[in-house]
Amino acid sequence: MTDEVAGQPYTENRRPEVGETVRDARLGRIGVVMGGIGPYVQLRPLYGGREWDVAPEHVEPVTVLEVLSARVAEVNERSRKGVLPD
């Protein structure tokens, strides 16, 4: 997490750091910043998976509570499918 206020979008001049957990406001998904290519920020799901690209203006900081909620939802989804994270 950063000192950013949750809900304040990043810009091309102010991008999230690698390893930071953020929200893709366009999709409503929470992911971990893996880097960036060109103008885009690359995010990966919390428990791994395929990365996706997001324009910086669609990336928002998240609170600790939002991260915890997203992690619980991911574990619940995986448990329903019979696949638990390591």
pLDDT in tens, 31-82: 999 999 888 999 999 888 899 999 988 999 999 999 999 889 888 888 888 7
Ranges 2-11, 21-30, 51-60, 70-79: which has the least confidence: 2-11
Distance from CA of residue 49 to its chain's centroid?
A: 12
pTM: 0.75
User: Helix, strand or coil for residue 63?
Assistant: coil
Domain ranges of the chain: 21-81
pLDDT attached to residue 7 = 52
Beta bridge partners of 60: 23
